[in-house]
C-alpha cells in the first residue's frame, strides 16, 4: 500500500481554494478528499496527510467564500436601503 495517487492534487486544490479560488477549487477538493478518505478507510491506500490537509483547506476556503458572498450581498442590500 502506498500513498493515495490523488493526494497531491487534493492538497493543491485545497490550497488554491484558500488563497484565491474559493468555491471553484474548494468543492472539488472536498469531493475528491471525501472519496479518497473512504478509499483510505477501506484499506486500499496508506493514510496520507496531503488528503486530510487538502480536504480541510477546501472546507475552510469554501466556508470563507460563502461568508464573503453573504457579507457582499448584505453590504449592497444595506447600501441600497439607506
pLDDT digits 0-9 by tens, 46-80 = 878 899 999 999 999 999 999 999 999 999 999 99
Residue 15: inside a domain = yes
Residue 31: inside a domain = yes
pLDDT digits 0-9 by tens, 25-46 = 999 999 999 999 999 999 889 8
Residue 2: inside a domain = no
- Rounded to two decimals, the pTM is 0.89
Domain around 43 = 7-81
Residue 41: inside a domain = yes
Q: Report the pLDDT value the prediction gives residue 3, as an integer from 0 to 100.
A: 86
* Residue 2 in this model has a pLDDT that exceeds 80: no
CB neighbour burial string for 14-46, b if at least 16 within 10 angstroms, e if fewer: bbbbbeebbeebbbbbbebbeebbeebeeeebe
Residue 18: inside a domain = yes
Taking residues 3-10, report their average pLDDT: 92
CA 27 to chain centre: 5
Amino acid at each position: 500500500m502506498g500513498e493515495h495517487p490523488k493526494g497531491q492534487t487534493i492538497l493543491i486544490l485545497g490550497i488554491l481554494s484558500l488563497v484565491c479560488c474559493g468555491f471553484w477549487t474548494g468543492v472539488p477538493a472536498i469531493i475528491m478528499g471525501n472519496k479518497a478518505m473512504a478509499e483510505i478507510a477501506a484499506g486500499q491506500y496508506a493514510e496520507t496527510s496531503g488528503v486530510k490537509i487538502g480536504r480541510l483547506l477546501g472546507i475552510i476556503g469554501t466556508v470563507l467564500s460563502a461568508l464573503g458572498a453573504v457579507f457582499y450581498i448584505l453590504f449592497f442590500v444595506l447600501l441600497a436601503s439607506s
